[in-house]
Amino acid sequence: MRTIEIEQSPNLLIRALYFVFVGWWLSGVWATIAWILSVTIIGLPIGIVMLNALPQVSTLRARGSQTVVDTSGVVAVRTTQQYPTIIRAVYFVLIGWWLSALWLAAAWALGTSIIGLPFSFWMIDRTPAVLILTQN
């Protein structure tokens, strides 16, 4: 049985133009606001949602669960198991809040050069994992 993954992102040309004209500056503003919200108790849920949406904000890339269609036409949605909440909370308090700030600053800085752009996208995509151990 062969499966086909369906990606729901716009084509590469539209994503590249969006990044050049909007995504590079909007992602910096978005990441800063998301990080500030994430280090407050009240804003943490909103900050996490914003960080999870960061790849879409910067490049219009679809994120989240994957829609998989096998050759027989059966459709399934794949999700990823996460670490227990207590482990993620302790990690956030001890490491995640300050490491994610450094991580986002480095990712945004790498995004300003063509050579660093792929690394920047990779780092932005993994920001929730650095902040609270979210698995992709």
pLDDT tens digits, residue range 81-101? 778 878 888 898 899 989 999
Q: At what angle do helices 44-52 and 24-38 cross, to 10 degrees?
A: 150
- Determine the pLDDT at residue 54: 83
- Determine the pLDDT at residue 98: 93
Sign of CA dihedral 25, 26, 29, 34: negative
Looking at 28-32, 77-81, 116-120, which range is the least confident one? 77-81
Looking at 5-14, 16-25, 40-49, which range is the least confident one? 5-14
Mean pLDDT of 51-65: 76
- Determine the pLDDT at residue 136: 62
Q: Is pLDDT at 6 greater than 60 in this prediction?
A: no
Mean pLDDT of 11-32: 87
Confidence of residue 48 (pLDDT cuts 50, 70, 90): confident
More confident of the two residues 110 and 64: 110
Burial 107-121 (b: 16+ CB within 10 A, else e): bbebbeeeeeeeebb
What residues does 78 pair with on adjacent strands?
A: 66
